[in-house]
Amino acid sequence: MRIVLVGAPGSGKGTQSENIVKKLGITHLATGDLLRAEVAAGTELGLKAKSVMDAGQLVSDDIVLGMIKARISKLENGFLLDGFPRNINQAQALDALLEEISQPIDKVIYFDVPFEVIKVRLLARGRSDDNEATIDKRGIVFEQETYPLLEYYTLQGKCTTVSGAGEIDQISENIFKALV
């Protein structure tokens, strides 16, 4: 199965991904995690990405698409994309890439979480991009760049909205129901 998770930073995509990939035996690809690994390794790409991430902005499409392309074509057992695509340009590039390898997306899950809930979670987490100014900026970037994906995938008949607020296990159960 090929799944895309769409949600604001802090909506719980990473948290839920762990449960989904374990249950379905598919590969988890999280662009946020891949970028943070580059930052931690101090690579040239990581150095470029760090200031952008700490400002709550999106890393350039070229960088993110390069990371995804290098990995996705090697996956045969399905995948879960977490945090990618993040804007319409990335979504169109992904569709083109998946068409080339005849592996279209099956389902898109949109995590609906009130911004105030996200803010409380992220301030408690305390990562370097979890300060109030960056959280607010990420919220604005999400509304402007990522939220339009909801319509993009709804028009393709692939999108289901799941509430991402509440108990982690209950949210997982609702996701599994949406994936059937």
- Closer residue to ligand B4P in complex, CB, 76/167: 167
- Closer residue to ligand B4P in complex, CB, 75/102: 75
- In the complex, residue closest to ligand B4P by CB: 32
Give kind and range of the element (H or E) at residue 109. strand 107-112
> Least distance in Å: CB of 99 to ligand B4P?
19
Pairing of strands 159-163, 27-30: unpaired
d(CA 69, CA 60): 14
Pairing of strands 107-112, 27-30: unpaired
- Closer residue to ligand B4P in complex, CB, 15/160: 15
Nearest to 75 by CA among 170, 2, 5: 2
Location of structure tokens 């982690």 = 168
> Least distance in Å: CB of 25 to ligand B4P?
20
Chain residues that interact with ligand B4P, rule: CB under 6 A = 7, 9-15, 31-32, 35, 52-53, 56-59, 64, 83-84, 86, 90, 121, 125, 138, 166, 168, 171
> Least distance in Å: CB of 170 to ligand B4P?
8
- Closer residue to ligand B4P in complex, CB, 102/160: 160
d(CA 169, CA 173): 6
